Amino acid sequence: MPDPKTHTDTGGEQPPSPPPLSNEVDHQMEEENKEGNAETIEAVKSPPICEKVSEDIDHFLLHEKEGVSFEIPGYIEKFLDQVEENMVKNETGERKGKWEEIMEKDKWLLESVHRISKLKKMLMIHDEKETIDERRKSIANRVGTIQQKAMAFLEEDFRVLIEYSRIQTEVNPDININEKVDAKRKQVVSDQQDGQSDHQDQPEEFETNFPGYPDEAIVCMSKIVGEMLIGGYESECCQVYIVARRTAFEEIQQQLGLERISIDDIVQKVQWEILARDMIPAWTNTFRQCTMLYFPGERKLAEAVFSSNPSVAAGLFSSVSRGVVIPLLNFAEGAAMTKRAGEKLFKLLDMYETLRDVIPKLDGLFPEESSEELKTEINLAKSRLGEAVISIFCDLEDQIKSETAKSPVPGGAVHPLTRYIMNYLNTAGDYKETLEQVFRDHSKIEKIDSPDYGQNENDGTKEPQSPFASQVMRVMDLLDTSLDGKAKLYRDITLRNFFMMNNGRYILQKIKASSELRQVMGEIWCRKKSSELRHYHKTYLRETWNPVLTVLSQEGLSVNGKVQKPVLKERFKSFNTMFDDIHRTQSSWVVKDEQLQSELRVSVCGVVIPAYRAFVGRFTQNLDSGRQVEKYIKYQPEDIETYIDELFDGKPHHSIGRRR
C-alpha cells in the first residue's frame, strides 16, 4: 500500500523559506502541522479494525450455522465502515513502494479481507433460502463492493511483490552448462571404452539464487494468494503470477544471449554463421539451464506461493514452463528446416542431444499429464532434428560422387576431398553414440532403407552392423572408389601408387586417431588398409628404384674376368642421370605425414646407398684417377643420403650440383 510520505517528496529541492510570523500564528501552524502529521501516520499505519468489533465479527462468523436464520448485528456495519475508511486512506496514491512496506501495510487488509470473504459466503448461503429484506440486501451488496475493491488492492500488491521483491538472479553467460555436458559425454565414452558400461548419470550440482525471493516476501505472497483464492479471484491471481514469471524468464534468456525469434526468420533471414556462432550455443545453454536450474526453482516457488492449493500451483508451474519451452522448441524446428549443408550437422546434433537429455528430467518436475504433453512436443522437435541430421550425413555420398575434378592434385598429395571427408567423420566420431541413436530411431528413412543396407562387414563378427556404422562404411567405400579414379589422372604409374599410398595413410591415421571411428570400421578393416599401404610402398620402391639397382649390379660388366671400362663408364653415367631425374621429380612430390615421409626416405636409403657404396668401392679403381673419377663418379655415398632426404618435401629442385 502507498506510503503518503513518498508523495510529499519534492524531488530533492527545498521549498523557499516562509516570511516570519507572529508567535500566535506560529503556534497555530504548529498545532495544524501536528494534526496533519498524525493523519499521515494514521494513513501509513492503517490501524487495525477496532479490537472489540473484530472479536464480535469473529464470534459471529464462528457460531452462525449454515441453514439457520440470523439477524445481521449492527457491529457488522461498523466493521464495514472501518474497512472502507482504511481503504480510502490507502487509495490516495499509487500502491507502490518498497516491498517490505507493502508487506507491513497488508497485514490489516489481509485480516479484513478474510472476514469479508467469509461474511459474503455466509450471506450468500442464507440469502438463497430466505426472503431478502432491503437492509440485508444493502449489506450484501456493500460487502461485495468492499471485497472487490480490497481484492483489487491485494492483486496490485501481489503484482508488486512478485515483480519487485525478487533479488536480481545471478545469470553468468560465461558459465556454460554445455561445457559441463560435453565433459560428461567424453567421460561416458571413456568409461565405455574401459568396460564400464554400467555408467550412471550423476546428479549435476549447479548453484543459483533463482528465483531469488526472500522468505518473508514468499510468506506474504502466499497469504495474499490464499485470500484471493478463497474470495473467488483465482483467475486474476494466476494471471498476475504467469505474466510476472514469464517476464522473469524472458530476462534470463536475454542475459544468456538468446533472443526470441520466429521460425520464418530462422529459415529465411538469419545467416547460418550467426546461428552457429551465437544463437545455437545460447539456445542449448538456455534450454539446459532452464531444465537443470530454473524449472526446479520455479516449481518450488509456485508450491510455496500457492501452498493453499497444490493443484493450482502445479497448473501454474506447467503453464509458465510451457511458455518457456514452446518458443525454444520452435527455434529447434526452425534450425531443422534450414537448407541442408554439411557444416550444419554438428550444431544440429548439439540441439538433438539437448532435447534428448532434458526429456528424462521432466518426469520429476511436472505432473504426469503435463509431462507427457511436453515430452510429445520435445520428441517431435527432436525427431525433426534427427531427420535433418540423417539427411545431411547421407549427403556425404553425394558430395563424394559430385567431386569430378579432371586435374590431379600436384605431387600426389592428399586430396582435399580426402581431408574433408576424414575430418568430417573424425568430428562425427565425437557424436558416435548420438548418431547411433539417431540412425537407429530413423532407420526407415528412404535414404538408408535399401535392401543391401547394413550388409557390409566390419570386424568379422556375426553381430549385424548398426545403421550408422553401415552408413560410415558406405562413405568409406565411395571414397576409396573416388580415389581410385583420381589416381588414374596421373600419367606416371609410380605417382599413381604414391598418391594412393599418401591418401590411404591419411585415412588410416584418422581412423586410428579416433577410437569411435576405429570401433566402427573394425580391426580387420584397419589391418586390410595397412596391408594395402605396404603394397603401395613396395610398389613405389620397385617401380622407382629397381631400375637404379639394375644399373648398379655387376652383371654384364666383366668379360672373361676383366671389367669393361666403356660399360662401367656408361653405368656411372646412367646412375647419375637416373638419380638426378628421380631427385628432380620426386623432391616436388608431397608427403605431409612426417612419419610416412621418414619411412619412405629410410627405405630408399636402405636399398640404394648400400648398393651404390659397394659399386663405387669396387669399381672406382677401374677408372683412371683424376679427371675420369670426377667425371663419372658424381656423388659420394653420403651425398646420396643427403639428396634422398630432400625427397617428398614439395620443393622441386631443377638440378643438383656436385658436392665437394
In a domain, 535, yes or no: yes
Regarding whether 363 and 502 lie in a shared domain, the answer is no
Regarding whether 233 and 307 lie in a shared domain, the answer is yes
In a domain, 7, yes or no: no
pLDDT value for 176: 58
In a domain, 659, yes or no: no
| All cell numbers assigned to 407 | 586435374
Average pLDDT over residues 244-263: 92
What's the gap between Cα 537 and its chain centre? Answer: 45
- Here the CATH number for the domain that contains residue 349 is 1.20.1310
Decide: 605 and 577 in contact? Cβ < 8 Å.
no
In a domain, 546, yes or no: no
Regarding whether 108 and 133 lie in a shared domain, the answer is yes
What's the gap between Cα 236 and its chain centre? Answer: 37
pLDDT value for 13: 38
Task: Give the end of a domain, one of 339, 355, 389.
Answer: 389
- What's the CA gap between 248 and 165, in Å, rounded? 12
- What's the CA gap between 231 and 538, in Å, rounded? 93
Residue with cell 531469488: 212
Residue with cell 620402391: 541
Regarding whether 330 and 294 lie in a shared domain, the answer is yes
pLDDT value for 586: 95
pLDDT value for 153: 85
What residues pair up with 558 in beta bridges, in sequence order? 563
Average pLDDT over residues 131-155: 78
Regarding whether 225 and 350 lie in a shared domain, the answer is yes
What residues pair up with 168 in beta bridges, in sequence order? none
Find, among 642, 627, 636, 624, the residue nearest to 660 by Cα.
Answer: 636
Cα diameter, the chain: 156
In which band, very low, low, confident or very high, does the pLDDT at 651 lie, cut at 50, 70 and 90? Answer: confident
Q: What percent of the chain has pLDDT over 90?
A: 53
Between CA 350 and CA 325, with CA 329 as vertex, the angle to 5 degrees is: 110
**For residues 269-300, b (16+ Cβ closer than 10 Å) or e, as one string?**
ebebeebbeebbbbbbbbbbbbbbbbbbbbbe
Find, among 317, 334, 202, 360, the residue nearest to 264 by Cα.
Answer: 334
Q: Give the count of beta carbons closer than 10 Å to the beta carbon of residue 384.
A: 19
| All cell numbers assigned to 6 | 513518498
Model confidence, pTM: 0.77
In a domain, 452, yes or no: yes
Between 175 and 333, name the one with better pLDDT.
Answer: 333
pLDDT value for 470: 93
Task: Give the end of a domain, one of 495, 519, 540.
Answer: 540
- What's the CA gap between 394 and 89, in Å, rounded? 74
pLDDT value for 25: 34
Regarding whether 359 and 384 lie in a shared domain, the answer is yes
pLDDT value for 139: 74
pLDDT (tens digit per residue) in 377-419: 999 999 999 999 999 999 999 999 999 888 999 999 999 999 9
In which band, very low, low, confident or very high, does the pLDDT at 442 lie, cut at 50, 70 and 90? Answer: confident
pLDDT value for 19: 36
Least confident of 40-44, 218-222, 510-514, 554-558: 40-44
Mean pLDDT, rounded, of the chain: 80
pLDDT value for 61: 66
pLDDT (tens digit per residue) in 531-546: 999 999 999 999 999 9
Regarding whether 515 and 381 lie in a shared domain, the answer is no
Regarding whether 501 and 566 lie in a shared domain, the answer is no
Q: What percent of the chain has pLDDT over 70?
A: 73
Regarding whether 373 and 462 lie in a shared domain, the answer is no
pLDDT (tens digit per residue) in 608-627: 999 999 999 988 888 877 67
Residue 369, pLDDT > 90, answer no
Phi, then psi, of 562 in degrees rounded to 5: -115, 130
| All cell numbers assigned to 179 | 561445457
Between 140 and 328, name the one with better pLDDT.
Answer: 328
- Here the CATH number for the domain that contains residue 562 is 1.20.1280.170
Find, among 106, 207, 162, the residue nearest to 302 by Cα.
Answer: 162
pLDDT value for 35: 45
pLDDT (tens digit per residue) in 153-202: 889 989 989 988 776 555 655 555 555 555 545 544 444 444 443 334 44
- What's the CA gap between 165 and 98, in Å, rounded? 8
| All cell numbers assigned to 379 | 520428441
Least confident of 55-64, 72-81, 276-285, 540-549: 55-64
User: What SS3 state is found at 93?
Assistant: coil
Regarding whether 379 and 514 lie in a shared domain, the answer is no
pLDDT value for 20: 37
In which band, very low, low, confident or very high, does the pLDDT at 479 lie, cut at 50, 70 and 90? Answer: very high
In a domain, 19, yes or no: no
Task: Give the end of a domain, one of 540, 567, 589.
Answer: 540
pLDDT value for 36: 43
Tally of domains in the chain: 4
pLDDT value for 2: 40
Between 460 and 202, name the one with better pLDDT.
Answer: 460
Q: How many CA atoms lie within 13 A of 574 on its CB side?
A: 14
In a domain, 508, yes or no: yes
Find, among 542, 471, 458, 529, the residue nearest to 500 by Cα.
Answer: 529
Q: Which residues contact 206 (CB under 8 A, 6 or more apart)?
A: 177, 289, 292, 293
Between CA 158 and CA 170, with CA 164 as vertex, the angle to 5 degrees is: 130
pLDDT value for 4: 37
- What's the CA gap between 421 and 211, in Å, rounded? 47
Note down the domain range covering 100.
Answer: 27-164
In a domain, 60, yes or no: yes
- What's the CA gap between 225 and 232, in Å, rounded? 11
In which band, very low, low, confident or very high, does the pLDDT at 336 lie, cut at 50, 70 and 90? Answer: very high
Regarding whether 521 and 566 lie in a shared domain, the answer is no
Regarding whether 574 and 529 lie in a shared domain, the answer is no
